Amino acid sequence: MRALIAGATGFVGRRLATKLGDSGVEVRAIVRDRDRAGELERDGVELHEGDVLDGNSLAGAGRDVDLAYYLVHSMGRGGDANFVERERSAARNFARMASAEGVGRVAYLGGLGGDEAGSRHLRSRHETGEILRAEGPPLTYFRAAMVVGSESESYRMLRDLVNRLPLMIAPSWLETPTQPIGIDDVVAYLEQAPRVAASEGREVEIGGPDVVSYGEMLDLMAHALGLRPRPKLRVPLLSPGLSSLWIGLVTPVDAGVARPLVEGLRTPTVVEDPSGAALFDVQPDSLTEMLRLAIAEDSAGARA
């Protein structure tokens, strides 16, 4: 089997490339600059130099590919008014290439929420899935809430809030329900996709076993870090813009990235239809365990 990954240098893509390679799959990756993808090449990944925003550069990427993974996503920094159109263009280019070159199936990792209301970046992620479905080969559309791992921007933001603040401002989004999932479990779902024929042409909502508010998640983060949960001062009128500025001041997360993150945190992201996930042999970790694993990876990285 041969798999193609767009987004192989990202947080999820790198781990998926390793997992597929370890299971005997031939992996090809679309990279914008092969000089910056040396780690993938050393791991035996075939590189196709191209950019999803340039359809011509994708020619040949889908040759002899059984399943193509689309893991490209931009947060759309701050006032970047063009990111939605770039997302549309990239998805169309990839879908049309995959269709023209006979790719058997596409798997896409999008987000829960965003079908109608919700943040601009969650709506854009859902629209990407609709474009891939309409213009490409049969689609397996995975939908997840926050992916917990040491390289996740959302995870880092919540970790740093707990680490840096003895008293926390508590905007209304801390009450929003969510169903986070660990990075290893996300990769397990994606890796199994080629062997789960019944997932072709359907949405697969994935999440861990725990539905919590973001406030509860912060308390669990504190316990995982060996800290006491932070007292919270409720300020329900704190806007996304002010929230993002506050986060930019007290954490290393850029305010331009924080704003779309905060807008997403205001949208409930909970699995409503578990039937797609039931097709897969994955038993997701508890939130306590996924936080423990992420923090241990953080610590190992700091020591390296």
**pLDDT at site 154:** 84
pLDDT tens for the chain, 304 residues: list them.
999 999 999 999 999 999 999 999 999 999 999 998 989 999 999 999 999 999 999 999 999 999 999 999 876 544 565 788 899 999 999 999 999 999 999 999 999 987 766 677 888 899 999 999 999 999 999 999 999 999 988 888 889 989 988 888 778 888 999 999 999 999 999 999 999 999 999 999 999 999 999 999 999 999 999 999 999 888 766 676 777 777 777 777 776 777 777 777 888 999 999 999 999 999 999 999 999 999 999 888 765 5
**Domains along the sequence of the chain with CATH:** 2-145+183-206+271-282 (3.40.50.720)
pLDDT at 264: 79
The packing angle between helices 214-224 and 287-303, to 10°, is 50
Q: What's the pLDDT at 303? A: 57
With b meaning 16 or more CB within 10 Å and e meaning fewer, what string describes 180-213? bbbbbbbbbbbbbbbeeeebbeebbbbbbebbbe
pLDDT value, residue 77? 47
Which two structure tokens, joined as six digits, stand for 31? Answer: 């990279």
**Verdict on whether the full-model pTM lies above 0.85:** yes
3-state class (DSSP) for residue 208: coil
Helical ranges in the chain per DSSP H: 11-22, 38-42, 83-100, 120-135, 153-164, 183-192, 214-224, 240-250, 255-265, 287-303
pLDDT of residue 118: 64
Give the pLDDT score at 78. 46
